[in-house]
Structure 1
């Protein structure tokens, strides 16, 4: 039995439709990330799962049971919000166990559950403190502990790390990954941060304008993006997109002819306009790896682990991620080569991937 089923879920506010038919089936133990920019509908979908918003159409099933119209407290879910939402006058111990307290769980059983979760989250020494005495990362652990202690069917996370600084976000990502691997819990996690999505998820649903652009594993999303939107949204720096035209067995742009990947010849036609995508990290300085592009360096940025080069190819732009010890200067001509297997082709009109 699936842990969570979302069947053709729609949501409209008057004439404005924010969710346009969402279908997702989530198995027990999966970690699903809803990824997208602000306004794409990911938080609306999470709120419908939680019961904080009602769907205009479709169905939501948890553990095989429809929960439409069911009160949030009866849905067997636990939610961690963007804000910590802790009770400032209660200790950490009582904050974690408050849900159990409201359900009249005996004190001894409640105390045991709270201590087990606190040990799991490595906050045993903080149980007597108030939230005002905690750091941001510690408060987020308490909020997660309050969800964990209930042992629900599905956990819902609404951008829980967005209020933390970069270092704490990285630490908490690691903690969430560790917890999921240990507990094998079913999680739906909302974020606009692609790094969080790629590192945490077993599957990612990339959302745009109330629809799912692609639902797949992180590897599939990164290596075989289904649309131009997914290709540019996932990856940092984003995928290079070059306007090309099919001529015979080549892709031509800016008087440069690149060999057409053999597997895609049958899917294209002479004179067809396409978009060629190449990841910046797939590019290598110098000829020899495969097809080569002559460019001129414009901006050179050392990030530490890599050298990011922004270059011009005629009227188009291209970015490359090179080894940090590479010596380059602005205005320097360079040749960038890449493996032909690293080429992604998209239809100009539909934005869909060509395979």
Structure 2
């Protein structure tokens, strides 16, 4: 039984259509991340699930029951906001248990639930404090606790970590992952942060202009992007995209003399004369020795950036550029020419006009 089903959801504001037919079925215990840039429709979709906005068409089912028209409190959901939304005049214990208090839960049951939730979140020592006495990470834990204590069918998170600094975001990602693995909760999580999406999700819906560009596991999204948009959006640094044309000899890159061999899996979908976009992830590139067999790209180094664990190198390839993530002790100098190689399994091909992967059907 699906915990949450979104059926052909549309949303219009006058003549502007912000959601253009969204279909997702979420099984119990899944962690779905809605990923996309600002304005893609992900928060609008979350608000429709929550009951904070009504769709212009389609249906939302929670536990196989349509919730269209139902008040948010009657949908068996809990929502965690970006702004925490804690009551400043209440201590942590009452903030966590306030929803239960409003539902007239017995005081003994309420206190037990609050303490169990605080134990899970490791904030038992904070129950008597006010929000103003807490750090950002602690406030976020309280906001999550307020949702957890109700034990709803679906949890909704609207960019909950965006107000935290980098170190706290990493800590809270780990905390959310731990809680999900422990409790097997069903989650819909909105973010524009691909690291959050890749580390937290069981499935990712990459959204663009009110549509789902690709829906799949983090591995599928990263290893087999269905479109150029997904390939460029997911990955840091993003995938290298090079203009090319198929020839009888392989792939001729525009603006340089390099010709790459065409992997056998593309032979039936890339006849000679087809304009394509060649995709190669930066971490798939490595420096080629003189006798290294296989595909080679000869490029002139323009920028070298040491991040600590890797050396991010930008190099000119004729009129195009590539980025390579190399071992940190790699000896490179700006202006020098080097040959880069990669395994043919790392190569992606996209249609130059539609932007769709040639292997996506």
TM-score range, shorter chain: over 0.9
TM-score by length of 2: 0.98
**Aligned-partner Cα distance in 2 for 1:248–1:51:** 56
**Aligned-partner Cα distance in 2 for 1:290–1:226:** 26
How many Å apart are 1:249 and its aligned residue?
Answer: 4.0
Match of 1:307 among 311, 327, 337: 311
How many Å apart are 1:290 and its aligned residue?
Answer: 2.6
Q: Which residue of 2 aligns with 1:199?
A: 199
**Aligned-partner Cα distance in 1 for 2:169–2:141:** 12
Match of 2:330 among 319, 326, 331: 326
Match of 2:266 among 253, 264, 267: 264
**Aligned-partner Cα distance in 1 for 2:128–2:135:** 15
Partners of 2:296 and 2:339 within 8 A in 1: yes
**Aligned-partner Cα distance in 2 for 1:325–1:117:** 47
**Aligned-partner Cα distance in 1 for 2:80–2:19:** 22
Which region of structure 1 is more displaced relative to structure 2, 286-295 or 333-342?
A: 286-295
Equivalence map 1:67-78=2 (5 Å): 67-78=67-78
- Across the aligned residues of Structure 1 and Structure 2, the Cα RMSD in angstroms comes to 0.6
Q: After superposition, what is the alpha-carbon deviation per residue over 1:56-109, rounded to whole angstroms, capped at 9, x for unaligned?
A: 000000000000000000000000001010000000000000000000000000
Partners of 2:77 and 2:154 within 8 A in 1: yes
Q: Does 1:133 align with 2:133?
A: yes
Q: 1:249 to 1:121 in 2, by over 3 A?
A: same
Q: Does 1:113 align with 2:116?
A: no
SS in 2 for 1:29: coil
Partners of 2:282 and 2:324 within 8 A in 1: yes
Q: After superposition, what is the alpha-carbon deviation per residue over 1:248-300, rounded to whole angstroms, capped at 9, x for unaligned?
A: 14000122111001111111122110000000000001142631100000000
**Aligned-partner Cα distance in 2 for 1:220–1:82:** 28
Equivalence map 1:123-272=2 (5 Å): 123-253=123-253, 254-272=256-274
SS in 2 for 1:326: coil
Partners of 2:249 and 2:259 within 8 A in 1: no
Partners of 2:91 and 2:127 within 8 A in 1: yes
**Aligned-partner Cα distance in 1 for 2:275–2:211:** 26
Q: Which residue of 1 aligns with 2:17?
A: 17
Q: Which residue of 1 aligns with 2:278?
A: 276
Q: How many residue pairs end up in the alignment?
A: 355
SS in 1 for 2:181: helix
Which region of structure 1 is more displaced relative to structure 2, 205-214 or 281-290?
A: 281-290
TM-score by length of 1: 0.99
Which region of structure 1 is more displaced relative to structure 2, 342-351 or 249-258?
A: 249-258
Q: Which residue of 1 aligns with 2:349?
A: 345
SS in 1 for 2:82: coil
SS in 2 for 1:324: coil
Partners of 1:7 and 1:58 within 8 A in 2: yes
Partners of 1:249 and 1:265 within 8 A in 2: no
Q: After superposition, what is the alpha-carbon deviation per residue over 1:220-264, rounded to whole angstroms, capped at 9, x for unaligned?
A: 000000000000000000000000101014000122111001111
Partners of 1:81 and 1:157 within 8 A in 2: yes
Q: Which residue of 2 aligns with 1:40?
A: 40
> What are the ranges of 5 or more consecutive residues in structure 1 without an aligned counterpart?
none
SS in 2 for 1:3: strand
Q: Which runs of 4+ in 1 moved over 6 A?
A: none
